Chain A
Amino acid sequence: MELTFPKKPFRTHGGARVPHHKNTSQIPTAVLPTPKQVVIPMQQHIGAPCKPLVKKGDHVYLGQKIGDSDAFVSAPIHASISGTVSAVQQIMLPGGQMSDTVVIDSDGLMEADPSIQPPVINNYEDFLAAVRASGLVGLGGAGFPAHVKLKPAGKIDTLIVNAAECEPYVTADHRGALEDAGAVLDGVHAVKKMLGIERVLIGVEGNKPDVIKLLSKQAKDDSRDPNHQVRVLTLKTRYPQGAEKVLVEACTGRRVPTGKLPADVGCLVMNITSIAFLGNYLRTGMPLVQKRVTFDGGAIANAKNVMVPIGTRIGDVVEFLGGYAKPPKKILMGGPMMGIALTDDSLPVLKQNNAILAFDEQQAKLPEPTACIRCGRCVQSCPMLLVPTLLEQYTEQKNVEELQKRGIMTCMECGSCAFNCPANRRLVHSIRLGKSYVKKAGGKR
């Protein structure tokens, strides 16, 4: 099949016209001075948690591996500062699960591990080993180990670089693309070469013209790409363009079947920050130890992106930004559509974390739910073509059979339905509950 480069994205269903609030997109990323202490959980990815490789009192270098696992679906964890391990303990992660955690007290030196050097890559196996060693996971938020994704079962013909960044407020990918465009293309060409991919589409929402312009120019001028196989595709500015299945359809017109992965339709989707990290890592060998994170929301005094060592406590970064302007009422890890509400600000920044939003009282308040009026907005806005109001009803009835028949497990919890609901029904909340009923009943879809 001849691969074409679409001029316009393919049609996708539903979504929501969310406010942008991209307040921080034009402010250069600040670099956080070395924090006094970092807290590094051993579970920062989908898959098996890592076992700590260090114990209390050990000295660690920046970039030294401090956690690993024998499991295939897992990713090693590295020290993000140099110093002394002051504790190995359990903490509760934002999702509610407990995780072993290495606490490191800084020696203030940021002394890099002397054994770090650029990986030597002669073949595909070397490449996968290097990616695994880097600790890279999907940085768009999912946290799926990259070396697993880069070993797809079937033939991949299209690499889709996800720079949609459709969540309100979040601009970490936007700043990353602008400040590290060279690394983006390095990463793209590495993956392209290793997997023999003939078409690369960098999908950017239309509300980021500066990113589109810069990446288009860089891609065009790249001497590694004489046939012009790497192109930028301007996506419709409509949430959730960056959702994997939606993005695949928008870029290629292919629809991922239920229960399958993008790889099953020949696509590999990687977040732009993941790709940029890969580009840098192949050059320097420094594993994933820091992350660009958007700090915004009504309670933050100086909203901007900050480059922080992974494991830095959220409160320490807020302090660096001048503290809270107003008392925070809700703190989110991630964007306002899919982010997780945190219990306090002493939790650490994780690998796949792209934003911390501190909402003031007014922003944190949600309107009370009223009766469903069957307006159908949830149906029209569901990108997965579900009927959220029905799923809510079946969840209330604990009707597992109908929940499965209506495709509840296809829901990706993007929140478009609840965002648009005039009755302010807690649709996503109900669906999560409904999914747990289905799982309990042993159902799979």
Chain B
Amino acid sequence: MEKLIVSSSPHIRSGASTQRIMLDVIIALCPALVASFVFFGPRALVLVAVTVLSCVLSEYISRRVMKRKNTVSDLSCVVTGILLAFNLPVSLHPLMAVFGGVVAIVVVKQMFGGIGQNFVNPALTARIILMNSFPADMSNWTPAFGWLNGADATTTATPLAVLKQGGEFSFSYLDLFLGNTGGCLGETCALALIIGGIYLIARRVISPVIPVTYLATVAVISLVAGRDPLVDLLVGGVMIGAFFMAPDYTTSPISRNGRIIYAVGCGLFTMLIRMFASLPEGVSYSIVLMNILVPLIERVSLPKPFGSRKGDGLK
């Protein structure tokens, strides 16, 4: 008889892989990608291509330089690239987008050990660094459909900016739901993001705990504060944050209870920034802030081993 393989149990696997999970996330981002093209034109696709390429090359080169295994095939760098583009205004200079990709992958992800090791969300952190490096370019919003009527060189105010500055709020719920407003590439179309989110939940890539808790927290605080909860849910980055940013595995708690605490925190800080800070939008900062708090949340939220709770045993 030929030599037999002897290994530790279990001897079968579910077939799940990191690559398949990332592919599912990419599929889930496709509706929003289509929406970004519809509202912002071919420039949107170019920007996505630029950030994806920048992220993939950054991953490849940084792994190479550090003499580590090439991990481009797990597709996580592609996801980061798409998400980064989705958080940029369409008019941003491609070189700035390239810089964003390098920051996300090299500084935020690989310098901390690569996939699974970064303590903040790479795409969001890169966006924050870009916002602080190029504040004017990062808040230069092109109107939706501007590319069709030759208005793609003009600028408009995002619904959030209007809310902040107290101008006349002329957006209908339908406009906000479909994304017929100015804003970042991938964040405006709530419909497309919800479709993607439902796909992720149906494929069991993410659990509904974080998105539902996050959205519910935003809505409740908005209601209590006397704002319009529907508007607060539909404007800005709340939808993309709830379905694609906050549930990021590496930077969110691992247990269900931890996820609830974390998502409540994300919603709370989002609303606090919206209501009291000088910035119009708080999704990026709130999620990155909660990312940093994850180790503390884990301390209080990890499950207690079976049989070690008070009350276990015969009553």
Contacts and interface: CB of A to CB of B under 8 A. Distances in A.
Contacts of A245: 306-307
Interface stretch (A85-93, A180-188, A364-372, A436-444): A364-372
A434 to B, nearest CB: 13
Given A245-B307, A260-B307, A19 B12 contact: yes
Contacts of A426: 8
A177 B298 CA distance: 46
Chain A interface residue number, banded: 35 or more
A386 B1 CA distance: 40
B11 A327 contact: no
Contacts of A422: 16-18, 20-21
Contact of A339 (B9, B250, B256): B9
A373 B11 CA distance: 22
Contact of B304 (A345, A359, A373, A385): A385
Nearest to A154: B314
Interface string A343-359: 11100000000000001
Given A338-B10, A370-B74, A380-B256, A387 B115 contact: no
A325 to B, nearest CB: 14
Contacts of A255: 306-307, 309, 312-313
B135 interface: no
B14 interface: yes
Nearest to B304: A385
Among B250, B302, B306, B314, the most chain A Cβ lie within 10 Å of the Cβ of B306
A239 B103 CA distance: 44
Contacts of A406: 302, 305
B109 to A, nearest CB: 11
Contacts of A385: 303-306
B13 A424 contact: yes
B314 A266 contact: yes
A407 B255 contact: no
Interface string A11-36: 00100111100000000000000000
B6 A343 contact: yes
A336 B10 contact: yes
A57 interface: no
A367 B305 CA distance: 29
Interface string A29-61: 000000000000000000000000000000000
Contacts of B71: 370-371
Contacts, number: 180
B44 to A, nearest CB: 28
The DSSP consensus for interface residues of chain B is: loop
Interface string B289-311: 00000000000001111111100
Interface stretch (A102-110, A222-230, A411-419): A411-419
Interface in A281-337: 327-332, 336-337
Given A329-B4, A330-B11, A375 B306 contact: no
Given A254-B314, A385-B305, A16 B14 contact: yes
B117 interface: yes
A154 to B, nearest CB: 9
Interface string A243-285: 0010000000011111110001110000000000000000000
Interface in A351-400: 359, 363-364, 366-367, 370-377, 379-380, 383-387, 389-390
A340 interface: yes
B191 to A, nearest CB: 27
B11 A374 contact: no
B9 A415 contact: yes
A420 interface: yes
B115 A371 contact: yes
Contacts of A428: 8-10
A342 interface: yes
A314 B8 CA distance: 20
A245 to B, nearest CB: 7
A410 B16 contact: no
Contacts of B14: 16-18, 419-420
Contacts of B42: none
Given A168-B12, A373-B18, A415-B10, A341 B304 contact: no
B308 A407 contact: yes
Among A331, A385, A421, the most chain B Cβ lie within 10 Å of the Cβ of A385
A367 B13 contact: yes
Given A341-B6, A374-B250, A379 B303 contact: yes
B5 interface: yes
Given A329-B4, A332-B11, A410 B115 contact: no
A432 interface: yes
Contacts of A410: 305-308
Contacts of A337: 9-12
Contacts of B303: 379, 385-387
B95 to A, nearest CB: 31
Given A337-B10, A339-B11, A424-B13, A256 B116 contact: no
B132 interface: no
Nearest to B8: A429
Contacts of A424: 13, 17
A258 B304 CA distance: 11
B5 A341 contact: yes
B246 to A, nearest CB: 14
A329 B5 CA distance: 6
B7 interface: yes
B146 interface: no
A423 interface: yes
Given A371-B116, A373-B116, A379-B303, A338 B9 contact: yes
Nearest to A415: B10
18 contacts: A256-B307, A259-B307, A331-B4, A341-B4, A341-B9, A341-B11, A342-B4, A363-B12, A371-B115, A374-B250, A374-B252, A375-B249, A377-B16, A389-B254, A415-B9, A421-B16, A422-B20, A432-B8
Given A330-B5, A374-B249, 9 more contacts: A19-B12, A254-B314, A255-B309, A328-B4, A345-B1, A372-B116, A376-B253, A407-B308, A421-B16
Interface of A: 13, 16-19, 168, 245, 254-260, 264-266, 327-332, 336-345, 359, 363-364, 366-367, 370-377, 379-380, 383-387, 389-390, 406-407, 410, 413, 415, 418-424, 426, 428-429, 432
For the complex of A and B, 6 pairs with smallest distance between CB atoms: A407-B305, A415-B10, A429-B8, A422-B16, A258-B307, A384-B306
